[in-house]
Amino acid sequence: MSPHAQEEDPTNAYQSLSETTEHDDPRWAFGSGFEDVQAEIEAPVPDGVDAADLAEYCLMLGDDALVCSHRISEWVSNAPELEEEVALANTALDLLGQARVLLSRAAQVEGAGRDEDALAYLRGEAEFRNVGLAELGDDLDFGVAVARLLVFSTWRLALLSRLRDSRDPVVAAVAAKGVKELTYHRDWAARWALRLGDGTDESHRRMQAGLETVWPHVDELFRTSDVERRLVDAGVATDPAATRDEVDAVLDQVFAAATLTRPTLPGRGPLGGRAGRQGAHTEALGHVLDRLQSLARAHPGASW
């Protein structure tokens, strides 16, 4: 069979590889639509805002996204159906994209020569600022995964929808894009909560158990840290305590439709007055960071 000219052409991609070393498809780098945000990362700190506070706040929002994205990524090649592989990976990618911009902003505002990777890979547990819910493991139990994402996305959506007005242009931009993403995540999680809650006896039991696993981490979401309090006054942050009613209302609506019961377990108390926002974590975070950071730390000075 004589080779067709049309068939030869497509392999040009292969031949032209060395010419495209700068290839950096934005879909992969930041998720689509983050190009504009990238330009704003270098924007000056808004007047009257403490740079250290702003950096810390970006770490809080960024670490929540990074660590939760890590947990969702654990599902890759383990999802209950192929369609859900795609949905879960999309969610993990969205959160990773948010984390990258926020960590880049934190590094920029900090002004100590670090970048997103230095912050993600070279900080220790106590320097992470995420809430406990983000680091909660699920042992590949879909009921726990759905419960965690339901609560996390409902809460984060409430935060981000308020942060669209933030005086920090990067926080505002991440929020504007993130609201669309989180709406999608919450929709996905809520629909799965319905299917599991009102599906079979087993799925009902497991979805309820998932909620019970997640519940002790809910109170922490609504505790306002000192940094947040100061930044609320400066017009940069939003007060998480003020989102509680909205989050409760959404969750109650889902629980009712899904025949689930709102858990009554007590919240996990702080450690000497400190919790995730102050760097006091559960034992799980160390294991997350062990995996996340191992390769980067094994090759100091390497570029990838």
Partner 1 sequence: MSSEPTNKRTWPLYEVFVRGKRGLNHVHVGSLHAADDEMALHNARDVYTRRNEGVSIWVVRADLITASSPDEKDPFFAPSADKVYRHPTFYAIPDEVPHL
Partner 2 sequence: MAEETEALEAQFDATVAADRRIEPRDWMPEGYRRTLIRQIAQHAHSEIIGMQPEGNWILRAPSLRRKAILLAKVQDEAGHGMYLYAAAETLGVDREDLTERLIDSRQKYSSIFNYPALSYADIGVIGWLVDGAAICNQVPLCRCSYGPYARAMIRICKEESFHQRQGYELLLAMVNGTDAQREMVQESVNRWWWPSLMMFGPPDGDSPNTQQSMAWGIKRHTNDELRQRFVDMSVPQAAALGITLPDPDLRWNAERGAHDHGEPDWAEFKAVISGSGPAHAQRIAHRRRAHENGAWVREAAQAYADKQAARVAGKGAAA
Stretch that binds partner 2, among 124-132, 150-158, 175-183, 195-203 (CB under 8 A): 195-203
In the numeric block, which tokens belong to residue 165? Answer: 């007005």
> Does 78 contact partner 2 by CB under 8 A?
yes
Residue with Cβ nearer partner 2 (70 or 281): 70
Among 126, 249, 256, 295, binds partner 2 (CB under 8 A): 295
**Residues near 195 by Cβ (< 8 Å), separated by ≥ 6?**
203
CB of 126 to partner 2, least distance (A): 21
Stretch that binds partner 1, among 42-50, 76-84, 109-117, 243-251 (CB under 8 A): 76-84
> Does 5 contact partner 2 by CB under 8 A?
no
- Residue 209's binding partner, choosing from partner 1, partner 2, none, with beta-carbon cut-off 5 to 8 A by kind? none
113 sits in the region (left: phi over 0; alpha: psi -120 to 50; else beta) called left
> Does 13 contact partner 1 by CB under 8 A?
yes
d(CA 230, CA 225): 9
**How many Cα atoms within 13 Å fall on the side-chain side of residue 9?**
3
Residue the block writes with tokens 């369609």: 83
- Alpha helix positions (H), 111-168: 116-121, 132-135, 142-163
Stretch that binds partner 1, among 102-110, 159-167, 180-188, 240-248 (CB under 8 A): 180-188
Residues 125 and 286 sit within 8 Å (Cβ to Cβ): yes
Among 87, 118, 280, 296, binds partner 1 (CB under 8 A): 87
The DSSP letter of residue 280 is: -
Identity of the amino acid at 72: I
Among 24, 32, 122, 202, binds partner 1 (CB under 8 A): 32
> Does 252 contact partner 1 by CB under 8 A?
no
Stretch that binds partner 2, among 7-15, 151-159, 161-169, 179-187 (CB under 8 A): 7-15
Residue 248: CB atoms within 10 A of its CB come to 14
Residue with Cβ nearer partner 1 (75 or 128): 75
- Alpha helix positions (H), 164-258: 169-197, 201-214, 226-233, 244-257
**Residues near 236 by Cβ (< 8 Å), separated by ≥ 6?**
46, 49, 53, 54, 57, 166, 167, 168, 171
d(CA 40, CA 30): 14
The DSSP letter of residue 274 is: B
Among 50, 117, 184, 232, binds partner 1 (CB under 8 A): 184
Stretch that binds partner 1, among 82-90, 233-241, 244-252, 278-286 (CB under 8 A): 82-90
> Does 2 contact partner 2 by CB under 8 A?
no
> Does 113 contact partner 2 by CB under 8 A?
no
Stretch that binds partner 1, among 132-140, 153-161, 185-193, 260-268 (CB under 8 A): 185-193
**How many Cα atoms within 13 Å fall on the side-chain side of residue 148?**
26
Q: Which residues here bind partner 2, judged by CB under 8 A?
A: 1, 3-4, 6-7, 10-11, 13-15, 17-18, 20-21, 23, 25, 27-31, 66, 70, 73-74, 76-86, 89-90, 92-93, 96-97, 99-100, 103, 116-117, 120-121, 140, 142, 194-196, 198-200, 202-203, 206, 291-292, 294-296, 299, 301-304
